[in-house]
């Protein structure tokens, strides 16, 4: 005992340093584990055994599918979102660009597919025809919105759009998870300091009593393993508040439900379910042919209505087959003009759909287990690897401590 006390007196500064070094081990292993979750975006190293890719980008497809499933099954009904759009208001918002688009489409189609008829028509007759088509356009827009909302599942594959967007843009997927879990990441790093310091005190006492070279690396490895495991657990459990006297215990992520719900809703509204993204998915997605069929049907109906009064003359001058070609061309050009036309109503559409508020409200109504599913998949797949890396780093730093203590 006297020898131990004498050693402590002569090398007190080394023993005093052990808890601080252990705290540093705890912090460094956590920071490394956190960064390994998100970086690098692409695999770095020699496949398949030597190298690393961030857990989130590596399993981007699966995580995107999980996030989309949560979004579509619990947080968002896309039909409900579209029903919030008032066709009268959107028609008013895009009135001028819509009239210009109708004018351009009508002229281009007739000039391209029946130039002789268009050329021999008096200018006044041309303008009258254009005005008639423009006059019918507001009703056409209302019919389009009604049919689009009613048949939305046939026209828009929302799940495909979301998964593709998150899978294609790995930075977005990483940002979606990292931004909503930033306080939890900071919490993991801080716990490494506190638990590491406490274990370091025990480590110093054991070293003083044994002088066993394996003590420091084994303790270092245990610090890395245990603190990584415990920090991840404390993020999620307990799911429900547990009162211990005046202290209330609950997983940090669960406690931040209101903040997370608001932040997640904003990101979904601003990064995923935006007007340009929805348009792109409808126009270029796997069900775009059905959107074209819908537009073609409405355009054909409008053309027939305009030509009904003079159908025999139109049929004689144009021909039934060419009239069908004109309808198809008008539908294609209408879809081409759709994005720049709708852009003028983007502000109204974003405000009317109010995706952020809908997602936030629904998230607040999730059960604790469902809410945990928002972030938990980011950890579960390779959680053991992150913990193992923490243990390995702790072991190496402990071995460096041995060299310091002995030499």
- 295 CB contacts (<8 Å, ≥6 apart)? 144, 331, 334, 335
pLDDT at 114: 65
User: Taking a C-beta distance cutoff of 8 angstroms, is the pair 97, 342 a contact?
Assistant: no
| CA gap 241, 190 in Å, rounded | 22
Paired residues of 51 in beta bridges: 45
Percent of the chain predicted with pLDDT > 90: 4
The predicted model gives 331-358 an average pLDDT of 89
Instruction: Identify the weakest region by mean pLDDT among 48-62, 157-171, 381-395.
Output: 381-395
Percent of the chain predicted with pLDDT > 70: 87
| CA gap 370, 253 in Å, rounded | 12
Longest dimension (CA), the chain: 118
Predicted confidence band at 357 (pLDDT cuts at 50, 70, 90)?
very high
Paired residues of 249 in beta bridges: 242
pLDDT at 1 over 70: no
Contacts of range 318-322, beta carbons closer than 8 Å, 24 or more positions apart: 318/114, 318/117, 322/113, 322/114
User: Taking a C-beta distance cutoff of 8 angstroms, is the pair 33, 188 a contact?
Assistant: yes
Stronger pLDDT, 228 or 367, i.e. the higher one: 367
Question: Does residue 406 have a cis bond before it (omega within 30 degrees)?
Answer: no
The tokens for 279 are 């348009």
Q: What is the CA radius of gyration of the chain?
A: 32
| CA gap 405, 215 in Å, rounded | 12
Predicted confidence band at 390 (pLDDT cuts at 50, 70, 90)?
confident
Domain limits at 88? 1-406
pLDDT at 116 over 70: no
pLDDT at 264 over 80: yes
Q: Count of CB atoms within 10 A of residue 286's CB?
A: 12
pLDDT at 315 over 60: no
Predicted confidence band at 121 (pLDDT cuts at 50, 70, 90)?
low
pLDDT at 356: 92
Residue 53, classed as helix, strand or coil, is coil
| CA gap 85, 348 in Å, rounded | 9
| CA gap 349, 92 in Å, rounded | 12
Average pLDDT, the chain: 80
Predicted confidence band at 377 (pLDDT cuts at 50, 70, 90)?
low
Instruction: Identify the weakest region by mean pLDDT among 156-165, 268-277, 375-384.
Output: 375-384
Stronger pLDDT, 333 or 234, i.e. the higher one: 333
DSSP string, 345-372: GHHHHHHHH-HHHHHHHHHHTS-HHHHH
pLDDT at 350 over 80: yes
- Based on the structure, what is the number of domains in the chain? 1
pLDDT at 130 over 60: yes
Degrees (nearest 5) of the Cα angle 201, 203, 208?
100
Predicted confidence band at 108 (pLDDT cuts at 50, 70, 90)?
confident
pLDDT at 115: 65
pLDDT at 316 over 50: no
Q: Which of 212, 169, 218, 215 is nearest to 67 (CA)?
A: 169
pLDDT at 311 over 70: no
User: Taking a C-beta distance cutoff of 8 angstroms, is the pair 359, 269 a contact?
Assistant: yes
pLDDT in tens, 45-92: 887 677 888 878 887 787 788 778 878 888 888 888 888 989 888 888
The predicted model gives 292-319 an average pLDDT of 66
Instruction: Identify the weakest region by mean pLDDT among 8-12, 119-123, 151-155, 399-403.
Output: 119-123
Burial 95-109 (b: 16+ CB within 10 A, else e): bebbbebbeebbeeb
pLDDT at 313: 45
pLDDT at 361 over 80: yes
| CA gap 335, 233 in Å, rounded | 51
In Å, what is the CA distance from 209 to each residue of 3, 8, 218? 9, 10, 16
pLDDT at 287 over 80: yes
pTM of the model: 0.76
Highest mean pLDDT among 2-6, 220-224, 285-289: 285-289
| CA gap 346, 342 in Å, rounded | 6
């Amino acid at each position: 005992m006297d020898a131990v006390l004498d050693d402590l007196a002569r090398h007190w500064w080394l023993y005093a340093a052990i808890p601080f070094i252990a705290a540093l081990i705890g912090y460094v292993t956590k920071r490394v584990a956190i960064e390994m979750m998100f970086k690098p975006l692409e695999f770095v190293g020699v496949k398949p055994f030597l190298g690393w890719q961030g857990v989130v980008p590596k399993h981007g497809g699966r995580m995107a599918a999980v996030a989309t499933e949560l979004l579509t099954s619990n947080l968002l009904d896309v039909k409900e979102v579209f029903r919030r759009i008032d066709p009268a208001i959107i028609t008013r918002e895009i009135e001028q660009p819509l009239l210009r688009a109708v004018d351009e489409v009508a002229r281009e189609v007739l000039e391209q597919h029946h130039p002789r008829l268009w050329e021999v028509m008096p200018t006044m007759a041309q303008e009258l025809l254009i005005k008639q088509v423009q006059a019918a356009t507001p009703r056409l827009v209302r019919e389009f919105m009604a049919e689009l909302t009613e048949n939305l599942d046939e026209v828009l594959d929302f799940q495909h759009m979301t998964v593709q967007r998150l899978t294609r843009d790995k930075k977005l997927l990483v940002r979606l998870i990292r931004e909503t879990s930033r306080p939890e990441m900071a919490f993991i790093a801080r716990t490494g300091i506190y638990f590491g310091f406490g274990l370091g005190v025990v480590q110093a006492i054991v070293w003083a009593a044994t002088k066993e070279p394996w003590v420091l690396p084994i303790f270092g490895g245990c610090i890395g393993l245990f603190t990584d495991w415990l920090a991840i657990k404390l993020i999620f459990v307990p799911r429900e508040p547990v009162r211990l006297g005046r202290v209330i215990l609950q997983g940090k992520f669960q406690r931040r439900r209101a903040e997370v719900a608001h932040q997640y809703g904003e990101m979904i509204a601003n990064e995923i379910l935006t007007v340009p993204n929805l348009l792109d998915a409808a126009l270029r997605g796997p069900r775009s042919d059905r959107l074209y069929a819908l537009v073609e049907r409405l355009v054909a109906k409008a053309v027939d209505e305009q030509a009904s009064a003079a159908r025999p003359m139109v049929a004689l001058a144009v021909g039934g087959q060419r009239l069908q070609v004109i309808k198809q061309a008008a539908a294609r050009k209408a879809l081409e003009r759709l994005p720049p036309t709708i852009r003028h109503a983007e502000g109204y559409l974003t405000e009317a759909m109010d995706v952020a508020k809908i997602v936030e409200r629904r998230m607040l109504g999730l059960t604790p287990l469902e809410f945990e599913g928002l972030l938990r998949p980011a950890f579960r797949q390779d959680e053991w690897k992150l913990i193992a890396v923490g243990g390995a780093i702790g072991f190496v730093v402990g071995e460096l401590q041995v060299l310091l203590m002995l030499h």
